[in-house]
Amino acid sequence: MEFTDWIKVVALVTDLPLEATLNVDLNRLLTLEAIRNLRLRYCHHLDANRMDALAQLFTEDAICQVDRGSWRGRVAIQQGLSQAFSAFDTQQRGTYPFMHAVSNHWIEMLDEDRAEGRCYLIDFATQRAAGENPLLLLGLYADEYRRVDGQWLISRTRLDVIWPEPDVGGGDPGNGLVLPS
């Protein structure tokens, strides 16, 4: 069955006009892409040491829990992630002491203004000597997202480390995802 056939079936089942069904699906896809882009921007801003831009990706009352600490509020998160960045920037380059690569982003909408997600993290250390293992850690981000004034932001995030030392919270988005409280 072609995609357009599925849309027609959805329109029949929901008693919505075909155009309304297409708009609902398109809005959902745009929302999911905005949330995915939020996590990607987090990685780019953190790696490049753009802490002001990074802080703007969080709600004012956000909670961030990573292997380097746990912080509440946008200002505390910015300070905590700045300190974590400095700890890894052993050669004092000012940018890219690590590179966060995320994939397999699973997002579940809780309502029109809240969602939960989980994605894989492969974190590389860029200041190690050639021949050394560049892998810093493998992890999973567990996130809660909120739409505030039309913009999707991270309201709670937890980094579960899988390797080298497992520390996993667990759960699935929309079904018992373990988030900081």
- The residue written with tokens 């939960």 in the block is 116
Q: 106 phi and psi, to 5 degrees?
A: -110, 120
Q: Are the beta carbons of 49 and 95 closer than 8 angstroms? A: yes
CA atoms 52, 53, 54, 58: torsion sign: positive
- Tell whether the model's pLDDT for residue 131 goes beyond 60: yes
Whether omega before 164 lies within 30 degrees of 0, making that bond cis, reads yes
pLDDT at site 67 = 87
Q: How do strand 69-72 and strand 98-111 relate by DSSP bridges?
A: unpaired
CA atoms 82, 87, 89, 94: torsion sign: positive
Q: For 38-93, what is each residue's pLDDT tens digit?
A: 999 999 999 999 999 999 999 999 999 998 889 999 999 999 999 999 999 999 99
Confidence of residue 5 (pLDDT cuts 50, 70, 90): low
| Residue 1 or 42, more confident | 42
pLDDT at site 138 = 96
CATH, domain range 3-163: 3.10.450.50
Record the tokens describing residue 93, joined without a space.
């380059």
Residue 132, judged by CB atoms within 10 A of its CB (0-12, 13-18, 19+), counts as exposed
| Residue 8 or 112, more confident | 112
Whole-prediction pTM value? Answer: 0.85
